[in-house]
Amino acid sequence: MASRWILKPKPSIDEINKLKESLGISDSLAIILLQRKIKNFDEAKSYFRPKLSQLHDPYLMKGMKEAVQRVLSAIKNDEIIMVYGDYDVDGTTSVSLMYTFLKSIYKNVTYYIPDRYKEGYGVSAEGINYAADNDVKLIISLDCGIKAIEMVDYAKHKGIDFIICDHHLPGEDLPNAVAVLDPKRKDCEYPFKDLSGCGVGFKLIQALSKPLEINEKEIYSYLDLVVVSIAADIVPIMGENRIMAHFGLKILNENPRLGLKMLIPKESVGNVNISKIVFAIAPKINAAGRIKQATDAVRLLISENQMSARKYMSEINDLNKERKEIDLSITNEALSQLEKETDFRYTTVVYNPNWHKGVIGIVASRLTEVYYRPTVVFTRGDNGMVVASVRSVKGFDVYEALLECSDLLERFGGHMYAAGLTMKEVNLPNFKRRFEQVVGKLIHKTQQTPTVEIDTEISFKEITPKFIRILKQFEPFGPENLMPQFLTRGVSFAGDARYMGKENEHIKLSVFHPDARKVFMAVGFGMGSLLKRMKSEPFDMVFSIEENVWQGKAHLQFRIKDVRFTDKFASS
């Protein structure tokens, strides 16, 4: 499917020149900084040189004082504290962070991760019953709990207090907990609203460190867990998240905790970035909760013993391998199902009662990449119900579409780009028709085509060692601070090319531009069919610039995002 190229608005010449001169950088770098709302020397210094001293005072968060007092009271009175978290990466890193911290200062600490299939998302009655049976007096929930009004009341009835550390949007009412830490609370004036769940947990241990007289350096050692949560939960990498991600990556690359060290692929040791967390580390952590029990991931992350860590790592590798096999099998079955489907233009909806619940979200994402439509993947649930994962395309609010189908649903939740739902199986045909109609009514034509966003046009002349050094300082990349994408027109093949992949689906080739007399290596994933033409015709190329580390040596290369064999360029 041909992509729509969108060139981002260019700042004014005066703005570009002013920033360019104050920093001594090229036009393109000045443009990219201005697009990130960095307009002067001081803002650029803060962006390029993040400092831990720039982290906000944790006591600015509503409820922090009460949370700290309750934890200190539990320690003083020798009460059992249970750390409770969700089964995804953010939840398991949060539990690992809080449990490891508390265990370092206090013996009566335990943890609990709900079973994805038996208990579902969030605070469960089973978890509270487990706490009551084990004489727990305080539960600290992480990455969940903000809407657990009934469960917190149930815990209170059993004599258990709650501290909630969450980052999801609250409902109209808050649970009756001792403290509710959530920067998205309407009455919370905390300056940064986009922390991960683990990030909120980090603010609590940061606050606890003061009365407990724990050195700040010791607290900052937990940022390796925080950066993994930031990357995996796809929160904006700006503000506090960017500072914590920057220093968390330093720890991951220099001295990570044992469990995380085991998770880093050998070829990435010392060179971990956000992308490698997302694609190489997070899926392994997630595999435990998708296929078996997320508790396995926590055991690895909190492990201090080489032998036990190797055992947990081996189990997680096996689970991840199983997850990949199941994921591939279901994706192929879904694609086969869709080849016979001709009645739907705007949506992709598939169902098989035998598909594994733990991977339908991954499959929905893959189908969205192939068909570029709002996608729903169903499998059988319990008691005559079906469950589904929903994924969307850029700019389309799939949650709004589900609202218009809500009379057919038992439960649903999520946000603009991802959701989950439960529905009676008998409603499936009606849902398919309604969802198609609703999406067809709401979706804009521009949302039906993949887009490639371009930061700026660039000449190969500009790509110098100094340019690369400065560009590298834009990291860590992620939401709100994406890796810049450049456009160069009239690129030509430079004489060196080869196919990659089992089916020659990927390519690596050398490219040059007549104006620059420079040759660069470029890789294009999924572009095998284009190589013959690229070798014989000039083309316009959208690309990012990255370092490829192979056998300990770093090499500059372009990652091709898209090409066009035309002089015409559409900006909308």
Helix (H, G, I), strand (E, B) or coil at 255: coil
Please, how many CA atoms are within 13 Å of residue 412, restricted to the half-sphere of its CB? Answer: 25
Q: Report percent pLDDT > 70 for the chain.
A: 98
Query: Which burial class, exposed, middle or buried, applies to 557 when counting CB atoms under 10 A from its CB (0-12, 13-18, 19+)?
Result: middle
Is the previous residue joined to 476 through a cis bond, with omega within 30 degrees of 0?
yes
Residue 342 has what pLDDT? 78
CA distances from 302 to 125, 256, 328, 353 (A): 25, 12, 31, 36
Distance CA 179, CA 163 (A): 5
Q: pLDDT value at position 1?
A: 66
Complete DSSP assignment for 505-571: -EEEEEEE-TTT--EEEEEETT-GGGHHHHHHS-EEEEEEEEEEEETTEEEEEEEEEEEESSS----
Q: Name the amino acid, one letter, at 522.
A: A
> Using an 8 Å Cβ cutoff, are 49 and 38 in contact?
no
pLDDT classification of 135: cutoffs 50, 70, 90: very high
User: 91 exposed, middle or buried (CB, 10 Å; 0-12, 13-18, 19+)?
Assistant: buried
Average pLDDT over residues 524-537: 95
Higher pLDDT, 381 or 21: 21
What one-character DSSP code corresponds to residue 194? -
Mean predicted confidence (pLDDT) in 549-572: 75
Q: Token pair of 122, please?
A: 């969030």
Picking from 151-165, 178-192, 351-365, 558-572, which range would have the lowest pLDDT averaged per residue?
A: 558-572
Residue 571 has pLDDT above 70, yes or no: no
Position 567 scores a pLDDT of: 53
Q: What is the mean pLDDT of residues 357-373?
A: 93
On average, the pLDDT of the chain sits at 93
Half-sphere exposure of 17 (CA within 13 A, CB side): 3
pLDDT over 50 at 9, yes or no: yes
Q: Helices 89-103 & 282-291, crossing angle to 10 degrees?
A: 100
Q: Is the pLDDT of residue 572 over 80?
A: no
> Is pLDDT at 554 greater than 90 in this prediction?
no
Average the pLDDT over 433-452 and give the result. 94
Distance CA 156, CA 148 (A): 12
Query: Stretch 224-234: mean pLDDT, rounded?
Result: 95
Q: How far apart are CA 297 and CA 252, in angstroms?
A: 17
Quote the pLDDT of residue 318. Answer: 94
Q: At what angle do helices 197-209 and 223-232 cross, to 10 degrees?
A: 160
Cα separation, 538 vs 411, in Å, equals 53
Which whole-number Å values give the CA distances from 177 to 57, 67, 348, in the listed order? Answer: 22, 10, 41
The pLDDT tens digits of the residues spanning 480-500 come to: 999 999 999 999 999 999 999
CA distance 438 to 419: 16
| Cα separation, 108 vs 113, whole angstroms | 17
Res 545 pLDDT > 80: yes
What is the rounded distance in angstroms from the CA atom of residue 379 to the CA atom of residue 464?
52
Per-residue pLDDT of 272-331, as tens digits, reads 999 999 999 999 999 998 888 889 999 999 999 999 999 999 999 999 999 999 999 999
Q: Of the given ranges (24-38, 96-110, 328-342), which has the lowest mean pLDDT?
A: 328-342
For residue 399, which phi and psi values (nearest 5 degrees)? Answer: -65, -40
Contacts from 504-513 at CB under 8 Å and sequence distance 24+?
504/528, 507/531, 507/534, 509/534, 509/535, 511/541, 511/558, 512/460, 513/459, 513/460, 513/488
User: Would the pLDDT of 569 be above 50?
Assistant: no
pLDDT at residue 552 in the model = 67
Rounded to whole angstroms, how far apart are CA atoms 341 and 481? 39
Tens of pLDDT, residues 51-67: 999 999 999 999 999 99
- What does the block give as tokens for 564? 């066009």
For position 409, what pLDDT does the model report? 94
Residue range 231-236: average pLDDT? Answer: 91
DSSP assignment of 374-407, as one string? -EEEEEE-STTEEEEEEE--TT--HHHHHHTTGG
CA dihedral for 432, 433, 435, 436, sign (positive or negative): positive
- The pLDDT-based confidence of 341 (bands split at 50, 70, 90) is confident
- Judge whether 540 and 489 are in contact, CB under 8 Å: yes
> What DSSP designation does 54 have?
G
pLDDT, position 115: 87
* Type of residue at 135: D
CB of 389 closer than 8 Å to CB of 420: yes
Under the banding of pLDDT at 50, 70 and 90, the label for residue 570 is: very low
Predicted model pTM: 0.91
3-state class (DSSP) for residue 421: strand
Assign 109 a pLDDT band (cuts: 50, 70, 90): very high
Nearest residue to 314 (alpha-carbon basis) of 335, 340, 288: 288
